[in-house]
Amino acid sequence: MTNLQVTLSPVPPSATQPINLPINIAIRNPATTPVTFLNWGTPFDPKASILGVFHINDTTTDNPITLDTINFNRKLPPSRDDLVEIPAESSMERTVTIPVPLEEGHEYAVQAKGIWHGIWECAREEVTDSQLQSLDQRGEFESERAVFKLQ
């Protein structure tokens, strides 16, 4: 299966309260063929900040930060609008903002992990209706931890 690489890099949060954590996300496709994935439950999901994709730990106190999350059902089969294609040997980037209570002077680590609910080694337009219906190609993703200090 594919070997997409998920990378996070926190953007320094503003000093306004409550502090929001903007995170730059890059998904890299090192393969020589395009890869298309269903964005549901991934860092590229428009609802990623509330779906439990991101995990934050206060490394100063070694405590996990509790994030508000929701669960909901989606209509199947997914829409083609929910497919993301990463061209061969390329990356795509997005920024997600997570509303979290952070303390000044603390160091935090953020990580993304979850499941590709549909992933195919082909261009977006080559994903068939049958593949969208069955979502039989799955995989797991896990980024490295991105560490930042709130000053």
Q: Could you give phi then psi for residue 49, rounded to 5 degrees?
A: -70, -15
Single pTM value for the model: 0.86
Q: β-strands 90-99, 20-29: how paired?
A: antiparallel
Q: Which residue has the higher pLDDT, 150 or 139?
A: 139
Q: Which two tokens stand for residue 36?
A: 């298309």
List pLDDT tens digits, range 116-141.
999 999 999 999 999 999 998 999 99
Query: In the chain, how many domains are there?
Result: 1
Looking at residue 14, its pLDDT comes to 58
Q: Among candidates 2, 22, 1, which has minimal Cα distance to 11? A: 22
* CATH number of residue 79's parent domain: 2.60.40.2970
Domain extent for 93: 5-149
Whole-angstrom distance, CA of residue 7 vs CA of residue 85: 17
